[in-house]
Amino acid sequence: MSGASPDWLRDPRQLFDVTGKVAIVTGASGAFGALAAKVLAAAGCRLVLAAGNAKALEEVAAECRGLGAEVEAVPRRPASEADCEAICEAATGRFGRIDILVVASGKNDVAKITEMSPERFLDVMDANVTQSWLMARAAGRRMLAQGEGGKVVLMSSARGRLGHPAGYTAYCASKAAVDGITRALGCEWGPTGITVNAIAPTVFRSPLTAWMFEDTERARSVREGFLQRVPKGRLGEPSDLAGPLLFLVSRASDFYTGHILYADGGYTAG
């Protein structure tokens, strides 16, 4: 270390301090989105939470308010340019700025390629790729105008890197594209102080994967086959993503951009 001691040396926890930051979370009604919202609320962020399911969204917003956060709930998915603008305007209108964007919305649709229509393929690409791109573009424009950097976290998957035999052509392609956006935008915005990274889990408990946690023969067989390839020996929980998220939205990760952070119990290491 050279020069003067950095301000955080007395208390390195300051590296993870996001108190007062304004964070947008899309897909806040979902398993990861709700977790992200609550982690950021408890960490002292001011929040704009977005999702299509207004009732589920309001429940998460109420929990975050219970944790002491100021929260604006926007019952929209980032489905179009206008939706993304409205979500960002909710942040700048209420809080005057945007510091953090977490795109936690997304979907899977499992079908063999020969049984999947082009419309279903494009729906997955739209939810995971186009909406990530649109939301990063809308929030990024404002972060660039603010000129103080920012933090963008996209949601990828181990399936962005690995194939899967059970009808995952749309999902794998979409998450590989999210990885591409993450790397390209990380490069594009490198000099601006805005970091762009992705969290890439394997299976964690959510409505998308609930069946894998059940006590049925099919679930047991899929689970056991899968677990043989997970060094940590268990499936994930949304809470496993809290640490990676806090790292990627705080100044602790200021030198990390275009990075795909595998939150996968070692699955992609083997």
Q: For binding to ligand NAP (CB under 6 A), which residues are involved?
A: 27, 29-33, 51-53, 56, 77, 79, 104-108, 127-128, 131, 155, 157, 201, 203-204, 206-209
Q: How far is the CB of 58 from ligand NAP (least distance, A)?
A: 11
Give the span between the Cα atoms of 36 and 98, in whole angstroms: 16
Give the integer Cα–Cα distance in Å for 67 and 250: 19
Nearest one of 67, 1, 21, 33 to 251, comparing CA atoms: 21
- Kindly tell me which of 15 and 208 has the beta carbon lying closer to ligand NAP: 208
DSSP state letters, 55-91: HHHHHHHHHHHHTT--EEEE---S-SHHHHHHHHHHH
Between 201 and 265, CB nearer to ligand NAP: 201
Query: Would residue 267 show up in a list of annotated catalytic residues for this protein?
Result: no
Nearest distance from C-beta of residue 229 to ligand NAP, angstroms: 15
Judged by beta carbon, residue 43 or residue 87, the one nearer ligand NAP is 87
The least distance separating ligand NAP from the CB of residue 258, rounded to whole angstroms, comes to 19
- Residue 112 CA: distances (Å) to CA of 145, 168, 207: 44, 7, 21
- The answer to whether 254 and 195 are in contact (CB under 8 A) is yes
Instruction: Give residue for tokens 């952070």.
Output: 261
If DSSP codes are grouped into helix, strand and coil, which group holds residue 16?
helix
Q: What's the min distance (Å) between Cβ of 225 and ligand NAP? A: 16
Give the separation between CA 197 and CA 249, rounded to whole angstroms: 9
Q: Shortest gap between Cβ of 152 and ligand NAP (angstroms)?
A: 14
Work out the burial of residue 125: count CB atoms within 10 Å of its CB; fewer than 13 is exposed, 13-18 middle, 19 or more buried.
middle
CA distance 60 to 30: 9
Comparing CB distances to ligand NAP, the nearer of 32 and 95 is: 32
Q: Which of 168, 171, 262, 267 is catalytic?
A: 171
User: Given the complex with ligand NAP, which of 14 and 53 has the nearer CB atom?
Assistant: 53
**Catalytic residue list:** 171
